[in-house]
Chains A and B, each alone.
Chain A
């Protein structure tokens, strides 16, 4: 069974920079996995931020960026704001019978 792994929690100071990563149990994450990133705040529905590794949706703030880093997908937040405190989920594409798999989420605390 494919497993997508994220850091359970991270803490960042306001104005700082933080990178969240997303690893696959199958090995190196490449652009062919079409990494996606979602943000979810308490009591709200998830909101897509990044698709296909680094592409932003029209509503994605400029301080969010996606990349591949050290064999993983990565989401970097620059100039973090208190409003960025949320759960962040990555999602990878595997095709086949179960095309999309979510990671377990990273709880980002801005402190």
Chain B
């Protein structure tokens, strides 16, 4: 069964840093692009970042570009999101999402970041 477990969320001061992790199992992690999606309390979903597979191409939402860094460790089946220069606007629950062809799939309960 596919599992994606997010962790690393915490309470942090503005300007601080956090590293989120997403440990996956139940599918061949290295075969899929992966994404981070976030949701501020009482707000809608927001796509944050994407990392592809073989060529490692990376994309970021304008709101986080230059402050967040996505990466992956295919040997450990873990997706990361390094978040620097955090602001109040970054407070949200962060979900990782697998990207099979044509869509995104979430599985975990997310990890809460409070700035």
**Chain A contact residues, CB within 8 Å of chain B:** 1, 34, 36, 38, 40, 45-48, 50-52, 55, 57, 89, 91, 93, 97-105
Contacts and interface: CB of A to CB of B under 8 A. Distances in A.
A52 B100 CA distance: 10
Interface stretch (B18-26, B79-87, B102-110): B102-110
12 contacts: A45-B106, A45-B110, A46-B39, A50-B103, A51-B100, A51-B102, A51-B103, A57-B105, A99-B50, A99-B59, A100-B104, A102-B46
A36 B107 CA distance: 15
Contacts, number: 68
A97 B59 contact: yes
Interface string B41-84: 00011110010000000011110000000000000000000000
Contacts of A45: 95, 106-110
Given A46-B95, A97-B59, A102 B44 contact: yes
Interface of B: 35, 37, 39, 44-47, 50, 59-62, 95, 100-110
Please list the 7 inter-chain residue pairs (A to B) with the smallest Cβ-Cβ separation, ordered nearest first. Answer: A51-B103, A52-B102, A100-B47, A36-B103, A102-B45, A34-B102, A105-B44
A52 B102 CA distance: 5
Contacts of A105: 44-45
A89 B45 contact: yes
A48 B59 contact: no
A52 B103 contact: yes
- Of A34, A50, A51, chain B has the most CB atoms within 10 Å of the CB of A51
A1 B62 CA distance: 10
A38 B45 contact: yes
Contact of A98 (B39, B61, B101): B61
Given A97-B59, A100-B50, A48 B106 contact: yes
B57 to A, nearest CB: 10
Contacts of A89: 44-45
Contact of B62 (A48, A51, A98, A102): A98
